Amino acid sequence: MEFASSSSTRVFNRTHQFSLLSTPPPSQKPSSLFNPSLNAFFIRFSTTSFSPRDLSCKSTLRDTTTTRIATPKMAENGVHDFELSNLTALSPLDGRYWNKVKDLSPYMSEYGLIYYRVLVEIKWLLKLSQIPEITEVPNFSEEAETYLERLIDGFSMDDALEVKNIEKVTNHDVKAVEYFLKKKCQSHPEIAKVLEFFHFACTSEDINNLAHALMLKEAMNGVLFPVMDKLIKAICKLAEDNASTPMLSRTHGQPASPTTLGKEMAVFAARLSEQRHEISQVKIKGKFAGAVGNYNAHFSAYPSVNWPLIAKEFVESLGLCFNPYVTQIEPHDYMARLFHAIIVFNSILIDFDRDIWGYISLAYFKQTTKAGEIGSSTMPHKVNPIDFENSEGNLGKANGNLSHLSEKLPISRWQRDLTDSTVLRNMGEGLGHSLLAYKSALQGIAKLQVNETRLSEDLNQSWEVLAEPIQTVMRRYSVPEPYEKLKELTRGRAVTKDSIKEFIEGLEIPKEAKDYLLELTPHTYVGAAIELSKTLDIAISLVNGVTTLQDGAQTVGRQTKMETGIACCARGAYLPGVSQHSKAPVSPQSISPSCSSRSLKSSSLFGETLRFVPRSSLKVSKPKNSSLVTRCEIGDSLEEFLAKATSDKGLIRVLMCMGEALRTIAFKVRTASCGGTACVNSFGDEQLAVDMLANNLLFEALTYSHFCKYACSEEVPELQDMGGPTEGGFSVAFDPLDGSSIVDTNFSVGTIFGVWPGDKLTGVTGRDQVAAAMGVYGPRTTYVLALKDYPGTHEFLLLDEGKWQHVKETTEIGEGKLFSPGNLRATFDNLINYYVKEKYTLRYTGGMVPDVNQIIVKEKGIFTNVISPSSKAKLRLLFEVAPLGFLVEKAGGYSSDGYQSVLDKEIINLDDRTQVAYGSKNEIIRFEETLYGKSRLKSEGVPSGNGTATWAAIKMVGPRIIPIHLSWFSDHANLCFRSYFLGFFSRYYRCNLTVDKFYLPAQGDHNHKEDPYQEDEEGMVKWRGSAGGIGEALIDRVWTTVSQTKKLAEWMPMVERCTDLAGEEGVPGYVRLVSGFMFPQQDGDRSWIKERLAAIVLHHLDNFYKMEASNVGLDGSINTLKLIDYGDDSTLVNWSSEDSII
């Protein structure tokens, strides 16, 4: 429901005078209505995105202490001639309580209704001018549009009174607005021509339903929500401040197990926060379909216009949801939902008011007094809880009004009756009493002081509450009839510390259990109450974590400790508000809750509340001889799946806590800031605010799992001690938000993590992981998980109620034509060409998580992210590659870094990086063969080439014309070679090269005298050739170019790419992969050669490379590069090669 402003409408500031006098006396003009002798109360309010007016509105009340009101005279008919004032108003909202509810007046008063009617009428005229088929209303000039917008922004109390005066004649409120606008525009030369298009094809309800929708929406956003949030935060503070304050609880009015005062306040904060969210999720709807919802009048005038589409666009332009199925009225169902949701919020607050009232009666709270205030007219000592009583009473009144609205408004006879009209005028009453109640409760909370002495006295007198833990421990150790024995001890008897101690010492239980019970007191027996209180920020993070859109940019709300809280109470896991691992706290811009910072672009507050899951114990059946308890089933919850899949309670705890973190991150991704760099990590990577938010949540989850020893992340790439055990504990590495740079484009993103046993994250391999997972945040939120000792990779879907449900199991990755080429510019062209030629479907999002998840979910495809001389490895083995490799291989797929499975690569440093491919077996074979000529997965070995090896003999020296001799496959290859080679050197060295003659012997013709082919003594065909000659270039300069691998593609004919594989460039042992069209293949694929630098002779400027593998049949050949100085600033580049032709 909350919205932000994206309008560029000019802002106009002015002052309104809101008076409790409804109309001026006959002798007064409207402008003289506002008597300077009246007291003024200033209100700041704003109205709509179309006119984000920052208005200063003055509400005036008659002050009976300074201005005497003449005693009203009794008329002959017995009627008083009372003038409306704070003393004569029928509703206390307009009298006694006006100061507390006046903020609602600009929205919910008749002035507000008239204003929004004016807005809708003008916006409709502007919309008509944009419809090409309606030629009678041409596009308005900028000046005319500005004039109309100013009628909205400049709408004043005098304007509203003028409308009311017109209504006295028309006896029709909406028609009065139409006439008012015609009058205002009749003098404008452009608008005057289209005056009759005001209210065109409209029924009154078209205007009214949109006006009422905007009134409700902006009143909630501008007034009610900010006060609700203050109330929830005030209760949160009570909870936080008293998290460890023990208190005797009461069930059925009798003493029960102790709790803490903070935890009981946390219950109300969590309930109110969730219901506040439910209110914000109501979609505010509108219609614009004419007299009976069929666009009858519209089509009669312009039958060719798509009126339903026009109506939809218009309603949505106001920030409302369009309802296409209506009668004369919008059915008001959304109003019923809204008012019911507010009733529930109010009912929760009534419960709070009554509990606080009771705690005050028990003297658990004292109330601060204010000098001069009187509690009782006859009992001077009393300090009554009047604020909570006032709140409770007004909430009841509000609920009664809202209940009638929600029951009445959805009902209308046939296509419409008028009973809703008068009822709708009372919406402000229900909201007003609600607002008054919220402020009264806030006022009461501010007066509360905790009486710890009284709390302690009650606990000291209630030792009988320890009967519960004693009999529960007795049950554990099979002591017979524990309940009955405690019942005999405590029921109807005074139980003291000594009697409890005597009973415990007489129990036949282990000493450590007995010592634990003896240490218990009513003050310390509070269970998880303290932790629940301290993690209250989890449940109410919505209050401070709301994100709105302002002028098209995302702005995150105030970030406090609540912002990094996480609801991780499922299955015994609780997270305190700990964020010490974050080295760069985020300080986003603060947002004012006022309506001026929102727009009409959203029909509901986006985001979801964080559900607070009750604590329960892990239910794990320990198997005797197997780690697998039973077969997991589709439909299992995450807890049920883990209980079946592993007997390791520590691992279950870690994975459950991470699951809760993923759920919270999914919400935060939808609502948190995506822009703005928070800091730079030690790797030098920029970290976005949303990265750090996810990072903090995951660290907190691992801290409170109690089984994580060390953790590190891409954002904090140093080992962090999480406090867990080394023996039986785990270490976790994670990428908190892979793809954070594409969050604002609304692509799917995700979290990646791997779990290793013990305390090691280096000196291990990916195969050592005991579990790995990724969270995928997209249209669905999923938790994809694999365990070392359980087959398959498993997908869990986040349900509406906040639970993870098992929905898919993947055990095989088959063949299928899907490819996701990460780092596409570095990907080998022949690999890409193969995908294109074979008509693979490109499915690439720019995020590693969704692309790899696609392989697992679709059970086919390949993902690659390769390296090249200009594009080094980016993916980190520890944080990304190994965990995802674990998921893919457990799903039945394969992974590769070009040589081996990524799970077999040892993690030496936290920042180790690598290239990678994930996919089916055949896809990985193709990947490895393309890069390196052979695949570990293919028993056949290296594929054979299919071309004849050839070279060129070229001599180029300066500007002289030198013959070029060349043998090749085809004319096409010949021309390509010539143009590439000559073109490059002409451009790179600025030399003037030409070709005198060109020899192209027929294939297989070895009789030409210049033919480089020769036969050896054994009759085996060999070839020998050279390429060289750079004119006007010093030999040292040429050597700098040709000796560098990165420059090979620049000077070597038809080479497209050269990739470092091993070793150091320029040092013998260095291995490179050369690919391109050096030896064109019959099917058009590129050729490739894997070469090892055998030797380098610097003083002779010689290089010797051995071809280790290729797809052209040149395995084992030796290539020699030698430079010869011609002495005339020219250099001969002699490139020779000798090999047996396969």
Please give the sequence-ordered ranges of beta strands (E in DSSP) within 158-309, or none if there are none. 246-251, 254-260, 285-286
Q: According to the model, what pLDDT value does residue 1078 have?
A: 64
In a 10 Å sphere around its CB, with 0-12 CB exposed, 13-18 middle and 19+ buried, how is residue 546 labelled?
buried
- Say if residue 543's pLDDT is above 70: no
Residue range 927-946: mean pLDDT, rounded: 60
Percent of the chain with pLDDT over 90: 41
Q: How many whole angstroms from its chain centre is CA 413?
A: 44
The DSSP string of 944-1005 is PP-S----EEEE--TTS-EEEEE--S-HHHHHHHHHHHHHHHHHHS-----EEEEE-PPTT-
Looking at residue 972, what is its pLDDT?
34
Cβ proximity of 231 and 272 under 8 Å: yes
* Cα–Cα distance for residue pair 638/622, rounded to 1 Å: 17
Question: Tell me, what's the pLDDT at 372?
Answer: 62
Q: Which residues contact 286 (CB under 8 A, 6 or more apart)?
A: 209, 210, 213, 315, 318, 320, 321, 322, 323, 330
For residue 361, give Cα distances in angstroms to 18, 357, 364, 365: 42, 6, 8, 8
pLDDT tens profile 131-181: 999 999 999 999 999 999 999 999 999 999 999 999 999 999 999 999 999
Q: Is 663:798 a contact under the CB 8 Å cutoff? A: yes
Instruction: Please name the CATH architecture into which domain 15-68+80-197 falls.
Output: Orthogonal Bundle (1.10)
Closest CA to 720 of 733, 729, 707: 733
Rounded to an integer, the average pLDDT of 787-814 is 90
**pLDDT of res. 1083:** 56
Q: Is the dihedral of CA 18, 19, 23, 26 positive or negative?
A: negative
Q: In 243-332, which ranges are continuous DSSP H helix?
A: 261-280, 296-301, 307-317
3-state secondary structure of 631: coil
The tokens of 388 are what? Answer: 């909570």
The 10s digit of each residue's pLDDT in 819-851 is 777 766 555 566 677 777 777 877 777 788 888
Q: Looking at per-residue confidence, does 632 or 344 come out higher?
A: 344
Do the Cβ atoms of 666 and 657 come closer than 8 Å? no
DSSP assignment string, 395-416: HHHHHHHHHHHHHHTT--STT-
Secondary structure (3-state) at 626: coil
Could you state, in order of their start, the residue ranges of all structural domains in the chain?
15-68+80-197, 215-369+397-450, 463-521, 535-599+606-763, 811-932, 952-1140
Most confident residue range from 2-16, 336-350, 787-801, 918-932: 336-350
In the block, residue with structure tokens 């009174």 = 161
Q: Give the pLDDT of residue 1063.
A: 84
Phi, psi of 755 (to 5 degrees): -120, 120
What is the sign of the dihedral through the CA atoms of 972, 977, 980 and 982?
negative
Give the containing element (helix H, strand E) for 121. Answer: helix 110-128
Residue 248 pLDDT > 60: yes
Among the ranges 56-70, 541-555, 924-938, which has the highest mean pLDDT value?
A: 924-938
Q: How many whole angstroms separate alpha carbon 534 and alpha carbon 243?
A: 6
d(C-alpha 293, C-alpha 161), whole Å: 32
For residue 45, what pLDDT band results from cuts at 50, 70 and 90? Answer: very low
For 963-1015, what is each residue's pLDDT tens digit?
333 332 233 333 333 333 444 333 333 333 333 222 223 333 333 333 333 33
Please give the Cα distance from 748 to 539 (Å, whole number).
Answer: 25
Cα-based torsion angle of the residue sequence 864, 870, 874, 875 in order, rounded to the nearest 10 degrees: 20
Contact 646, 652 (CB under 8 A): yes
Give exposure, 129-152, as e/b (b: 16+ Cβ within 10 Å): bebeebeebeebeeebbebbbbbb
Q: Which of 552, 361, 586, 364 is nearest to 459 (CA)?
A: 364
DSSP 572: G
Is 566 strand, coil or helix?
coil
Q: Is 628 exposed, middle or buried (0-12, 13-18, 19+ CB in 10 A)?
A: middle
Mean pLDDT of 374-398: 78
User: How confident is the model at residue 48, as a pLDDT?
Assistant: 39
* Euclidean distance between CA atoms 804 and 922, whole angstroms: 34
pLDDT at 603 over 80: no
pLDDT of residue 1003: 36
- Is 49 a residue whose pLDDT tops 50? no
DSSP-derived letter for residue 879 is: I
Query: CA-to-CA distance for 266 and 133, rounded, in angstroms?
Result: 59
The pLDDT confidence band at residue 219, using thresholds 50, 70 and 90, is: very high
Which single residue is written with the structure tokens 């859109």? Answer: 549
Query: Using CA atoms, how far apart are residues 995 and 173, in angstroms rounded to an integer?
Result: 92
pLDDT in tens, 314-325: 999 999 999 999
What number of other Cβ atoms are within 10 A of residue 676's Cβ? Answer: 16
Residue 590 has which token pair?
């603060």
Sorted by sequence, the CB contacts under 8 Å of residue 17 that are 6+ apart come out as 33, 34, 57, 58, 59, 60, 157
Report the CATH number of the 811-932 domain.
Answer: 3.40.190.80
DSSP tally for the chain: helices H, then strands E: 33, 42
Question: Which range among 27-41, 601-615, 731-745, 915-929 has the greatest average pLDDT?
Answer: 915-929
b/e 983-1015 (16+ beta carbons within 10 angstroms → b): ebbeeebebebeeeeeeebeeeeeeeeebbbee
pLDDT higher for 982 or 560? Answer: 982
SS3 category, 697 = helix
Residues 647-699: tens digit of each pLDDT: 898 999 999 999 989 988 887 777 654 444 444 444 444 445 677 888 888 99
Average pLDDT value for residue range 1099-1125: 74
Query: Shortest CA distance to 1133 belongs to which of 984, 975, 976?
Result: 984
Q: Which amino acid is at 392?
A: E
Strand 790-798 and strand 804-810: the pairing is antiparallel
Give 196 or 618, the one with higher predicted confidence: 196
Higher-confidence residue of 1015 and 630: namely 630
Q: Angle at Cα 45 formed by Cα 39 and Cα 51, nearest 5°? A: 130
- Report helix angle 427-446 to 204-219, nearest 10: 0
> Quick one: which of 710, 742, 738, 735 has its CA closest to 725?
710
The CATH code of domain 463-521 reads: 1.10.40.30
Question: Vertex 1018, ends 1013 and 1024: CA angle to 5°?
Answer: 20
Fold of 535-599+606-763: Fructose-1,6-Bisphosphatase; Chain A, domain 1 (3.30.540)
828/472: higher pLDDT: 472
pLDDT-based confidence at 753, cuts 50/70/90?
very high
In this prediction, residue 1057 has a pLDDT band, given cuts at 50, 70 and 90, of: confident
Who wins on pLDDT, 671 or 229?
Answer: 229
pLDDT score, position 976: 37
**Residue 621 and residue 646: Cα distance in Å, rounded?**
9
Candidate CATH numbers 2.60.120.310, 3.30.530.20, 3.40.50.2300, 3.30.300.180; the one for domain 952-1140:
3.30.530.20
Mean confidence (pLDDT) of the chain: 74
Contact (CB, 8 A) for 261 and 458:
no
pLDDT digits (tens, 9 = 90+) for 417-461: 888 888 888 898 999 999 999 999 999 999 999 999 999 999 999
Q: Which of 350-354, 454-458, 1023-1027 is the least confident region?
A: 1023-1027
Judge whether residue 800 has pLDDT over 50: yes
What does the pLDDT read at residue 545? Answer: 39
Name the pTM for this structure.
Answer: 0.50
The pLDDT assigned to 381 comes to 55
How is residue 823 annotated by DSSP?
Answer: T
Sequence-distant (≥ 6) Cβ neighbours of residue 536 within 8 angstroms: 236, 239, 240, 262, 266, 269, 270
Given a cut of 60, is residue 354 above it in pLDDT? yes
Other Cβ atoms closer than 10 A to 65: 6
Q: Which residue has the higher pLDDT, 602 or 650?
A: 650
Mean pLDDT computed over 268-293: 92
Q: What is the pLDDT of residue 559?
A: 31
Check residue 1128 and report its DSSP letter: S
Q: Which of 864-873, 931-940, 987-996 has the lowest mean pLDDT?
A: 987-996
Beta carbons within 8 Å of 1104's beta carbon, 6+ residues apart:
1093, 1094, 1095, 1096, 1118, 1119, 1120
Taking the C-alpha atoms of residue 982 and residue 995, their distance in angstroms, rounded to an integer, is 9
Which CATH architecture describes the domain 215-369+397-450? Up-down Bundle (1.20)
